Amino acid sequence: MVPLKSNIRAPCLHTVNLNRPAIKSHARLKLPPGTFVFSKKEFSPERHIFPICFLGEPLLVVNWRFTEQKEQPVEISPELDRLFLDLIGEERHALYEQIGRQLPHTIRFNPLKGPVERQQELLRQQGFGFEPWPGLPNVFRITHQPYPIGKSLSHFLGHIYVQDLSSMIPPLVLQPQPGEWVLDVSAAPGSKTTQMAAMMNNEGVLLANDVVMKRIQALITNLQRMGVVNTVVFKWFGEQFGNQYFEQFDKILLDPACSGLGTLHKNPEVLSWWTPNHCIRLAGSQQKLLISAIKALKPGGVVTYSTCTLTPEENEEVVDFALRNFPVELEPIELPGITTRPGLTRFRQKQYHPSLERAIRIYPVENDSEGFFVARLRKVDSLEPPRLKKPRRLLQVSFLSHKTSPVKKHLDYLAAHFGIDSRVFARLIYQYERQVVAFSKAIGDFPFYGKPVKMGLVLARIMSQGAKFTTEGAQLLGHHATKMVVDLPDFATLEKFVNREALDVPVAGKGQVLVRYNGLIIGYGLADNGQLKSQFPKAEWPFRLTAVE
């Protein structure tokens, strides 16, 4: 028996929504076996009684106090217990202790949004404590949260991305560089994609692909929030890239769907459906995706294969197949500051390629993080080109330079209004659809064999006279402005600005004004009768900055 929070999402027969007005926070609920309970908020302080399911059958009825998050016992299946026993022995009990418990948050800052040191100062001003993770660049552990960090101003501005430590490892292993063409095969919701975009300094081409539209919407939202211009979003099956983009990419990240055994601390529902056969089915899909990735990779290029699970079937066996059937070699991985174990070369009765010891395994119990497997493979030779049933259809996608009409007049207006050197706009290319969308220059040379779902960043919107920056556009290029910029004098004024409250900030001139705080472009406002009027985007919650103790 292991401790587990009782909000497991299991395959049950009935549902009850605790958000319904008819169910009050003081109600005492008695629900039938097999009920699936879900809620968007905490209820206090009365106890609610509901059953928990395991593999479709009611396992136990628990007392649950939402505000206290009372722990309850849940069984681990015998097959899963044997798997963990064979992998980590008696340490599996420490792993079971983590199930359903929140691990320390880790974050990274976003160099695309301004000086990282200033971003750190702003986060500290909001009351958050954090410390660098030794040995890993731009990885920080949260030590204090006055409120959930996802509701902080820094998160809203795209200064930080909350991401598990282990999830940051695959991009660090891949090491994408500015100017390269990089493919993220299973990109949503965008944690690793936005990390790689920052590592590439918003240059080159980053094709972010996923197959589920709902997840793609989350990916697009994160790309916008983080100020990314070098990314093209596709909705393809990952198996298509090997043929359609044969030997086109410098680097590829493949982090496919998996059984998720490394995420039990936050996804205990995995226990309700995990079976060895399910892992075998997933491994078949993962193998096909890795084959496609190797085909799409240029000779000499690198593909990083990673999963957030711990089963050898989905990890070593998939890579072993690639090593034995394709011209790829495993390269060693050096990660100071994090505890790793070598990949398996033998498990139970199976023997794997000896070079798999160069892969790494990350166990939750050793780093207070998700469990992960990561392998770095280099392609050492070309493959025979695929024989396509239908010829590839090259889609014509047009872009404009900063000197091309109709974009030119709007960029010239912004350059004159804000005193921005026109050479700043020359670093990007554009599209015009009653708004100005900006892209990295390299995207102009990229072949489109399918229609992208989304690409680039909306830089400016067209007005009856001239144009105005979007908030993301202001944050992207506003630091180049030499006029029509106002500095907020203190933290209290910043709080008023981001909450769209009345301000006592004098400003000269007319029209759009960029708003800066402590060297960071926060957004924009309007000059209104000599005063600054906030145009900060509306959030779903108020920002209470100065109330932090």
**Segment 457-477, tens digit of pLDDT:** 999 999 988 899 999 999 999
pLDDT score for 72: 52
Q: What CATH number labels 166-379?
A: 3.40.50.150
Q: Is 92 in a helix, a strand, or coil?
A: helix
Q: Is 522 exposed, middle or buried (0-12, 13-18, 19+ CB in 10 A)?
A: buried
Alpha helices in 419-465 (DSSP H): 422-425
pLDDT score for 546: 66
pLDDT score for 73: 58
Given phi > 0 = left and psi -120 to 50 = alpha, else beta, which region is 484?
Answer: left
pLDDT tens digits for range 391-421: 889 999 999 999 999 999 999 999 999 999 9
Mean pLDDT for the stretch of residues 298-320: 98
pLDDT score for 44: 34
pLDDT score for 47: 33
Helix then strand count (H, E) for the chain reads 16, 30
Q: Which residues pair with 305 in a beta bridge?
A: 254, 375
Q: Is the pLDDT at 362 greater than 80, yes or no?
A: yes
Q: Which residues pair with 141 in a beta bridge?
A: 106, 131
Neighbouring C-beta atoms of residue 60, cutoff 10 Å: 13
Closest listed residue to residue 183, CA positions, set 238, 227, 229, 109: 238
Q: Is 143 exposed, middle or buried (0-12, 13-18, 19+ CB in 10 A)?
A: exposed
Question: Which residue did the predictor score with more confidence, 170 or 65?
Answer: 170
**Least confident interval from 97-101, 139-143, 203-207, 280-284:** 97-101
- Delimit the domains of the chain by residue range: 2-75, 106-162, 166-379, 393-475, 484-549
The answer to whether residue 12 is catalytic is: no
Q: Which listed residue (12, 53, 279, 308) is catalytic?
A: 308
Q: Is the pLDDT at 48 greater than 60, yes or no?
A: no
φ, ψ (nearest 5 deg) of residue 347 = -150, 120
Q: CA 486 to CA 508: how far, in whole Å?
A: 9
pLDDT tens digits for range 367-376: 989 999 999 9
Peptide bond before residue 489 is cis, with ω within 30 degrees of 0: no
Q: CA 292 to CA 285: how far, in whole Å?
A: 11
Half-sphere exposure of 284 (CA within 13 A, CB side): 5
Strands 14-17 and 35-38: parallel
Q: Is the pLDDT at 453 greater than 70, yes or no?
A: yes
Q: Is the pLDDT at 118 greater than 50, yes or no?
A: yes
Q: Domain 484-549 adopts which CATH fold?
A: 2.30.130
Superfamily (CATH) of domain 106-162: Sun protein; domain 3 (3.30.70.1170)
Q: Is the pLDDT at 17 greater than 70, yes or no?
A: no
Closest listed residue to residue 309, CA positions, set 370, 267, 266, 388: 370
Q: Is the pLDDT at 40 greater than 60, yes or no?
A: no
Q: Is the pLDDT at 198 greater than 50, yes or no?
A: yes
Q: CA 279 to CA 105: how far, in whole Å?
A: 28
Give the DSSP per-residue string, 514-534. Answer: EEEETTEEEEEEEEETTEEEE
